[in-house]
Structure 1
Amino acid sequence: MNLRASGTLCLVVFLSLGIANPMPPKNDPIVTTSLGKIRGACLKSSTGKDFYAFRGMHYAKPPVNELRFKAPLPVEKWNGILDATKDGPMCPQPTTNLSDVSEDCLRINVYTHNLPSEGTSNVRKPVIVYLHPGGFYAVSGQSWNFAGPLYFMDRDIVLVTLNYRLGTLGFLSTGTAEAPGNAGLKDQVMALKWIQSHIANFGGDPNSITLLGYSAGALSITMHLISPMSRNLFHKAIVMSASTTAQWEVPSNQLDLGQRQARLLNCTDATVKEMVDCLKMRNAVDFGTSLPNMFEFGNGNPVLLFKPVIEPDFGQERFLTADPTKVYQRGDFMRIPIISGITKDEFAFPAISTLTNDTLRYQLDTDFNTWAPINFLYERNTKRSNQISKKLREYYLGDGPLSLEKSLDGLVKLYADSLIGFQTLRFIHLVAQYTKVYQYRFSYQGRYSHTYYPDDKTPYGVVHHDDLLYLLTGPYIAPVFTDKDPERKTVERLTRMWTNFAHTSDPNNPSDEYLRNTHWTPFNTKQEQYLDIGEDLEMKHHLYSDRFNVWDNLFPLH
C-alpha cells in the first residue's frame, strides 16, 4: 500500500473546544485498497495523540430503489481518490437535521495511528468494531455525533464504527420473499466482511477483531455469535447492556408492524407484494419522521419495536435460523472470550416519563394487564400474560395505586430488568458454561447523564448509555473529559480494560497504574462474580440475584 503523509504523523490544529480539525488536503493521508484509493484526515485524540481518520466510506452499495429491503450488495471499485475526510450521513430516523439523513448511509469509519507504507513493516493492531445503540431505529456511527473516537485513540488499537439500516428500512419482515427480514443485521455482516478484506490497509489485524456493541448493538452481537453468516468474522466480544436471550419471543416475521408503517405512509396493505411495492416508492426520510407514530404507549413503548426474526427459507442466505436462547442452551455459538454487563439503573427515563404524565400513569395503573406486556416485552392477551403481570406488579410496585412518590424506584427497576437486566444476565449464565466471560456492573456516578431528575442538573442514578460517556465522545451529552475532570479516571479505566481485552482476551493488566490493584476474575455460575466499576474497582458476587430469580421463574428455560 502507498501512503502519502507527513513524516511524523499529523501536525494538526486542535481547537480549544477539544474538537480535531482536518489538515488541508495536500497533507491528508491516502491509502490504496483493492477497491481504490482513499483520502483521510489527520486528527488528535483527547490527550493530543495524532491519528488518522477515514470516514464515510461505503462498505456496500446504496440500498436504494430495488435494493430497498434487500440484503446488501458489496460496494464496487471506483476510479480516482475517494474523499473520506468527513462523516457520511445517518440512516433515516427521527431527527431535526434532515440534511444529515440519507438512504445512502451504509458507511464505515476507520481510526488508526499507523498506516503501512512501502519499505516499512506492517505492525497490525487489534481492531475494535463498534455497533451503535438506538433500538434498531436511531443513532449512528458518526464521529461528531455519539461515536467520537477521541478516547479510544488514546489507546493502541484500530477503531471502526459504522452505520446500518434502521427502522422499517432495515427490519421490515413480512414472512415472505419480498422482505424476509434482518436487512440491518446483514448490513453489519457486510461491514465485517469489508473489515476482513481491507482493515490491514489501515494498520489493523483482520485476525484480531473485537466486536463492541451497546444496547441494540449488543443485542446484535449476541446474534452474530450464533448466525451462520457471521462465523469467523470476529474473535472477541464486548456485550454491553442487552442480549437476545430475553423473555420476548423472536418471531418469524413482523408483518403487523409493516402494515402499520404502510398505513402511516398511505400505502395499501391488501397484499404483501402491493404493500412492499408501495413502500419502495416512498421517500426514505418519511420512514424516520413517521416513526413516533409506530409506538403504542407514550413516545417510545415498546422500546424494542423492531425485532430480529427467524427467517423462513426462500432460498436466501439466512441470518437467523433458530431460536437464539435454545441455540445458546445447546452451546452452538462462537465460543470466544466475552465481556458483558449492565449499568446500575439502566432504563430510568421511561419510568420517570410515565409517572410524571397523568394520562400514562393512569393508563398503566388502571389497565396494567394490557400495558405491562407492551412496556415490559412479553406475550400479550393471554391467561399466562395476566399471571406474569400480576407477579411483576406485586414484586416491583406493591398493592397500592401508582404514584411518583411511591412507585418510581420500583418502576425504574422493572423497566431496567425487563428491557436489559434479565436478558443480559441470562446470556452471561448461558455462555459461561462454554467460554470465558467477564461480568461487570457500571455504577460510577459522574456529573453527566442521559437522564436527569428531579431537575435538569441532577443525574438520576447511572442509567442506560451512561457508561458510553467514558468510551466514546458525544458532544450533546458531555464534554471531552481531561485530566482536570474527576471523570477522567473512569475514562482511563474503561478504555484500558476494553483495549487490554482486545489485545489479550483479558481485561486485566497488573502493570497498568490505573488497573494494578484490580483482578477481574471470570464469571462462574456458583460464585457469579462481577466487577463493580464505580468510584473504585471492586469484585462482588450475585448481581441482582433476587430480581433475576423472579424473571427466571416466570420465564424458565426448557
Structure 2
Amino acid sequence: MAFTILFIAATCSLMSALRATEVVPRVDTSSGILIGKQSHSTWQYLGIPYARPPIGNLRFRTPKPAFRSPVELLVQEHGPACTQHSSLSFYGPDLPRQSEDCLTLNVYVPQNTHSEVKEPLAVMVWIHGGAYLVGGSEQFPGHLIAAQENVIVVTLNYRLGVWGFLTSGDSTIPGNMGLMDQVLALRWVQDNIASFGGNPHKVTIFGQSAGGMSITLHMVSPKTRRLFQHAIAQSGAVTNQVLLERNSPRWTPMLQQLASSVGCPTDTNLVQCLQSVDNARLAALDNMFYEPIVDGPGGCVPMQPALAWNTSVRHAPFLMGVVKDEGMAIFDMNLPGIDKELALRDGIDFNVAMKITTMMLMKLYPGPDQPFTSLFTPEQMQFVLQYYYKHPEDSFDNLRSLMSFVRDALFVSQTQQAAGSLQQPTSRNDTFLYQFVYRDASYPEEPFPMGPSHAGELKYMFEECSTSEKNLCNSIIHAWATFAKTGRPSFLNHDGDDVTWLPYSEESKHFLKIDLNMGSDSMQQDLLPEVNHFWNDVIPGMIDKFPCDTGSTARRRSACRARTKLTP
C-alpha cells in the first residue's frame, strides 16, 4: 500500500513537471536549448552554465565560455553556490549545496512575454554580495521584480575567496577570476538575452555590498564597457579605497603560506600542485586575504579606482546608496572580540575597538610591500582613532563609535565619492543617491536604537512582503525598475502615485530617504556632509602615496595636494 501511494505521488509530480514544461517556451542559447519552468507568474530558467567548470587545469584561470550542450538542457533548479569558506550571518545560513563547478546563471522572464510584448524588455542583472567570500544567486530569486515590473531579471554565481581572487603576483595566477566570471556572464547576457525577449541594449547591472563594489569596478573597467547601460550599487563602492597591485611583493609570502598549508612546493610546479589540491582542503583554509586587485593594463581593474573614477568612468546613469546603520555589519563579520549579545549588554572595550579600527584601516589603505602594514603612519592612525573615539572609557560609546567608523569608512564615504566623481565635466552622469532608513520591530532599542542594518533592504526586494510593508516593497522595486527602463527612477508615494526622484548634483546634493511611507518630502539634501569631508577631503590629503586627483572638485584635489594638516 505504501509503495502504491509513493508511486502515485511520484507519477503525479512527474506529470506536473511535464505539464509545466509544455507551456514554457524552449529557448535556444549558446549554452544549448533550454527547458525552464513556470512559477510565480514567471518563466524561470535556472542553473544555466555560462562557463566551463573551473576545475582541474581551469582552476585559478580566467573563465572559458561554456560548450553548447548537444542535447536539450532541463534548467529548472538552481545550480550549487560556489565553494566558500564561511558564512556572514546577514546573508542567512550556509548554502547547503556548494561546488567548485558553480558558474551558472538564472533568468526570470515575465510570463507571456513573447506573445504580449512588442518591444524587447529591459534586463536587470543581479550580482550578489558577501565580502567576496560567501553568497550565491539562489538566495536572491528574481521573480518578484520580473513579474511586478515586466522586466527580465538575471542572477549569477561567481567564484569567491581563494578560488576567485588568489594571485601569484603575475599572469600565472592572474587574480580577479571572480570579476572575470561576472564579465563572462554579462557577455552571455549580451549574446542570448534577446532569445528570452530581452533587450541587450538596455541592461542594468545591480548589486549589494561586494556586489555593489563589483558594480563600481565595472564602471571603470574596459572589459565591461559595452556590456551594460545603467548601474545600481547598494551599500558597496570601491572609489577611495586603495587596492593592492598585482605586482606587489606582498603576494609572494601569502602564496608561500598557502602552498605550505596544502603541502605544495614553491617551485615551478606550484600552480599544477594547487590545481590538484582537494577542494575541501582549500575550503578549510582562511580566505580573508583574497579580493579584487589592480591587475594593470588590459586587465579588469587596470588602475587604482580612485584614479579611474577621475579619468575613465563610464558615461552611464548611476543609482547608489546606503542603509542608515551600515555599522551593524560588525555583528556579522566574525570580528575578534565582538559578540553581538555581549556587545549589546556591555558595550565593547576600547582596545578591542582600536584593534578592529586599525585592522580595517590596513585593509582599506594597505601598505604595498608587507602584510599588516598601511599607507597610514602611526601618527595618522592615532589621528583617526582620536577623531572617532572621544570617550574611550565608555564601552557603549566605543560600540557606537566603531559602528560609525565602519559605516563611514567602508560605505558612506565611498558612495559619496562616487556620486561626486560623476559630477565632473569629464563624466557628468545622471546620478541618483539614497539612504534606506526604515526600521522594523526586529532591530534593538538598547543600548541605543539601531537599524536598519547592512543588507537590511534586500528582503524588500527579493521576499514576499507583509501587508503593512507592501507599499515599501512596491516602491523600491518600482524605483529600481523604472531606472532600468529609462535611466531616471521614480518612486511610489503612500497613495501609489509616481513621484520624481531628483538627481544628485554638486549643488543640490539631493538624495532619497527611503522609508515605509514616502512622498515629495522624502527628497533630502546633503547626506552626512561631515563624513564626506573627513574621508574624501582630509584623509586623501594626509596620505603621501594616495593618488592625488581623487576628488570630484578642484577644492578636494587642492586639499589633497596641500596635504591637509592633522587636526580634527
Settle same-fold status: TM greater than 0.5: yes
CA deviation after TM superposition for structure 1 residue 53, in Å: 0.3
Q: Aligned partner of 1:464: which letter?
A: H
Q: Which of the numbers 315, 330, 352 marks the counterpart of 1:350?
A: 330
Q: Out of 339, 352, 367, which is 1:364 matched to? A: 352
The answer to whether the 8 Å contact 2:365/2:374 transfers is no
Q: Percent identity?
A: 26
Deviation at 1:370, TM superposition (A): 5.2
| Pair 340,542 (structure 1): closer, same or farther in 2 beyond 3 Å | same
3-state SS of 1:136 partner: coil
Match of 1:514 among 487, 496, 506: 496
Look up the SS of the partner of 1:467 in the other structure: coil
The 8 Å contact of residues 82 and 100 in structure 2, kept in 1 or not, is answered as yes
Please tell me the root mean square deviation across aligned C-alpha atoms, in Å: 3.2
- Measure how far apart 1:512 and its partner are: 10
Between 274-283 and 368-377, the greater mean CA deviation after superposition: 368-377
Q: Distance in 2 between matches of 1:369 and 1:29?
A: 53
Partner letter of residue 80 of structure 2? P
Change (3 A) 1:376 1:355: farther
Contact 1:447 1:459 in 2 (8 A): no
2:211 and 2:384 mapped to 1: Cα distance? 27
Q: How far did 1:132 drift? A: 0.5
Partners of 2:221 and 2:29 in 1: how far apart? Answer: 28
**What residue number does 1:529 align with?**
510
Matches within 5 A, 1:437-456: 437-448=431-442
User: What whole-Å deviation, never above 9, does each CA across 1:91-148 have from its counterpart, x for those lacking one?
Assistant: 001368686111111001000015676x987531000000100111110111xx2445
- 8 A contact 1:112–1:158 mirrored in 2: yes
Maintained 8 Å contact 1:93/1:285: no
Counterpart for residue 137 of structure 1: 133
Give the distance between the partners of 1:389 and 1:205, measured in 2 at CA. 49
Residues 34 and 461 of structure 1: is their aligned pair in 2 closer, same or farther, counting only changes over 3 Å?
closer
1:420 deviation in Å?
1.3
Which residue number in structure 1 is paired with residue 81 of structure 2? 90
Matching residue of 1:431? 422
The structure 2 residue matched to 1:373, chosen from 357, 361, 370, is 361
Per the alignment, do residues 550 and 35 of structure 1 end up closer, same or farther by CA in structure 2, a change over 3 Å counting? closer
Q: 1:329 aligns with which of 300, 305, 310?
A: 310
The answer to whether the 8 A contact 1:151-1:491 is kept is: no
Specify which of 508, 518, 526 is matched with residue 542 of structure 1. Answer: 526
Q: Distance in 2 between matches of 1:281 and 1:349?
A: 36
In 1, Cα distance between equivalents of 2:217 and 2:382? 31
Q: Which residue of 2 aligns with 1:123?
A: 119
2:555 aligned with 1:555: no
Partner of residue 113, structure 1 = 110
- C-alpha offsets along residues 280-303 of structure 1, whole Å, 9 cap, x if unaligned? 111223333323xx44xxxxxxxx
What is aligned with 1:233? Answer: 227
Q: Does 1:318 align with 2:313?
A: no
Aligned to 2:182: 188
CA distance in 2, matches of 1:23, 1:262: 52
Alpha-carbon offset, residue 312 of structure 1: 4.6
- TM superposition score normalised by structure 2: 0.80
Partner of 2:552: none
Deviation at 1:521, TM superposition (A): 1.0
Per the TM alignment, residue 189 of structure 1 is displaced from its structure 2 partner at its CA by 0.8
Q: How many residue pairs were aligned?
A: 502
- Write the letter of the residue equivalent to 2:361: P
Q: Deviations over 1:3-36 (max 9, x none)?
A: xxxxxxxxxx9xxxxxx99965445442223542
- Closer, same or farther: CA 202–382 of 1 in aligned 2, 3 Å: closer
Counterpart position of 1:62? 53
Is contact 2:244–2:366 with CA below 8 Å preserved after alignment?
A: no
Cα contact 1:378–1:385 (8 A) shared by 2: no
User: How far is 1:471 from its partner?
Assistant: 1.1
Contact preservation (8 Å) 1:267, 1:279: yes
Provide structure 2 residue ranges, at least 5 long, that are not aligned to the other structure.
1-12, 87-92, 542-547, 550-568
1:400 to 377, 392, 397: 392
User: Which piece of structure 1 moves more, 371-380 or 60-69?
Assistant: 371-380
Structure 2 CA distance, aligned partners of 1:22 and 1:108?
A: 23
Following TM superposition, by how much is the alpha carbon of 1:406 offset from its aligned partner in structure 2, in angstroms? 2.4
The Cα of 1:497 is off from its aligned counterpart by: 0.5
Moved more, 372-381 or 545-554: 372-381
